[in-house]
Amino acid sequence: MESKHSYSRLIMFLSLSLLLSACSSTTTSEKATSKPQPIVAPDVLTQIDQPAQYYIDKIALANKPQAISWQLLAARALIAEGHTQPALDILVSVERNPLSTKQLFEVALIKSEAYLLEKRYQQAADTLAFSSTLDTSEQAHWQRFYLLNATIAELLNNNAKAVEYRVALSDFLDSELHSSNNNRLWESVSVVPNSELELLILRFKTENPTLAGWYQLAALAQQHRTDPKLLIESLQIWKQDYPQHPALSGFPIELVKAMATTPYTPSQIAVLAPLTGNRAVAGKAIRDGMLSAYYQDKRAEDIALQFYDTATTSADTLYLQAIEDGADFVIGPLLKSNLSKVLPLVKDVPLVSLNKLVDAPAADNIYYFSLSSNDEAIAAAKKMQRDGIKQPLVLAPNNRTGNRLAAEFAQQWALLTEGTSETYKYKSRSDMQNTVTSLFSVTSSNQRINLMKNLVGADIKSTTRSRRDIDAIYIIATPSEAMLAIPYIITTQNPYAPQVAVYASSRTHGNNLSKSQSRDLNGLIFSDMPWLLNPDRELKQQTLALWPNMSKIQQNLFAMGYDSFKLIPNLLQLRNFPNLRLAGQTGILYINDDGIIEREFSWAKYRSGKIKLEETDPETKSAP
């Protein structure tokens, strides 16, 4: 499926191509007169400022040498209007004639532009691979040549090559266009894998220092994306190593912000959380996580950390009290009802809430941090798309949680792929087998078998066949429900079709399952926070030594409290630099434009009764 991003690249290419043409070509105009005027042969680089029909009409009135120029202009005008096939037809006619080097170059460019708009990307690239003897001194030709090559490389996901072409393009641009070219160049170079960047830096360090500088800049951004302070220090060194680099005149905006940002350095932090009453278990787990981070921080001696119990006093009253007490940073509250009371009061003092609202206001100094199960449903859709899944299906309980998470998954899947995902709901554990049978359409298969038996006799040998269009199931279930469902899924699948992958959230992953129970989950791919799957072992051991009876929910909240404190000095860099990440206990953390702290989860799979982390490194390791 062609992505919206690819389509937008084509539109941007066409717009920029026309702009380049306008900036560097001559114009033609005709004054109205009663006398017939001779048809003067135009320059093939003349600006296209008339409808295609205007140029087509000129062809019939011109002699053969003049007609070729009008034909090339007509082809360009047709492409500008989106009519690629008529343009290609004109080029076939043009190529029957002896052509100058300038005309041959123009034919190649027009043909490539037509193939590009028809999304025949490889043909568009091949058309530009003409002999180096086909040279031109025209700046406008080189502008279009490098812009075309860069756009095609981007669409073919060859981002390193796209960077090379955009660096070459910059030599033929005026100052007004440098900034937009640098921004597109940065988009490409920032997604080149770090291992590839290192090789490119070595290759071009002497051959093309400008190109090497871009690769070095991207490598620094990737290597230090989880350490904002180190990133800023590295960027300063880069500026010394490349004092004349063109990026300095149009530095990527997120890097400019990252270097110019002064981190939050609060002296007094107020924490609003329930510390007594029926929510005390949650509030105390968050408090303990925060204190753990606080006492590990060398700067803690300069920070006063004060806790306010929202179970005894209204959250809005406590917030105002905290500000009056001198708090210059606030964390909390935890409950949505309390958050809605506090948000209207926030002005100059930054706040990291421990929850988020559906229509929460966006403000520069407000951040929303939550452990919503919705986030895992969204993460599952993204994970499946990365894994190449084409047709997922959701198996969910027919209750409020199941309906909410199934809808969240379906919405995210549609956003990513413009495709749909079916949802099947089970009423109870006893209904699980019937639901699995139904989702694989085995019921209708059995009905066809019984019909054939009635028609030709009971001795007919037949095998139940399940549908083949499903390639993954997202199961929303408890561990016990999943242990019941997965064997049904395995035995019900068509034995001649590839096995359907089964994905789940941390809800389906049990902490204390026996080996036989874990075997019942074999094949299950699930998400969870690093604290539970790939933790800081020393920190976790210390924590469980102090609180040996912490439940899984309490551990989640402990990790949230820990991260909420660790985030403070990094919040502004994370917000200003979209590619920046911070490795936290609850996930790999980043911040979107609305101030919501997003999480990238760890993924693991049950294999032979054991949990194996899914990593990019081929060597997987067991989770604790």
Residue type, 121: Y
Q: Which residues of the chain have pLDDT under 50?
A: 1-4, 7, 11, 18, 26-36, 442-458, 460-465, 616-624
User: Is the CB of residue 69 less than 8 Å from the CB of residue 84?
Assistant: no
* pLDDT value of residue 13: 56
* DSSP class of 564: H
Alpha-carbon span 314 to 308, nearest angstrom: 10
* pLDDT value of residue 284: 96
Distance, first Cα to last Cα, the chain: 40
pTM here is 0.69
Alpha-carbon span 350 to 369, nearest angstrom: 13
User: Is the CB of residue 205 less than 8 Å from the CB of residue 212?
Assistant: yes
pLDDT digits (tens, 9 = 90+) for 165-191: 999 998 888 777 887 888 889 888 988
CA angle 557, 558, 561 (to 5 degrees): 85
Residue with tokens 């028809």: 118
Handedness of CA 584, 524, 413, 399 (dihedral sign): negative
Distances (CA, A) of 97 to 41, 94, 355, 398: 16, 6, 71, 71
Closest CA relative to residue 226, chosen from 584, 540, 613, 532: 584
* pLDDT value of residue 30: 44
pLDDT digits (tens, 9 = 90+) for 311-364: 999 999 999 999 999 999 999 999 999 999 999 999 999 999 999 998 888 999
* pLDDT value of residue 367: 97
Phi first, then psi, for residue 286 (nearest 5°) are: -65, -45
* pLDDT value of residue 446: 41
Report H helices in 63-174: 64-80, 84-94, 101-117, 121-127, 139-155, 159-169
Using a 10 angstrom Cβ sphere, with 0-12 exposed, 13-18 middle and 19 or more buried, the burial of residue 395 is buried
Each residue of 307-329: b (16+ CB within 10 Å) or e? Answer: bbbbbeeebbebbeebbeeebbb
Token pair of 120, please?
């025949």
- With both helix axes pointing from N to C terminus, report the angle between 139-155 and 4-24 in degrees, rounded to the nearest 10: 180
DSSP codes, 450-481: HHHHHHH-TT--------SS--EEEE---HHH
Distances (CA, A) of 194 to 77, 161, 210, 234, 252: 42, 15, 18, 16, 18
The 3-state DSSP class for residue 60 equals helix
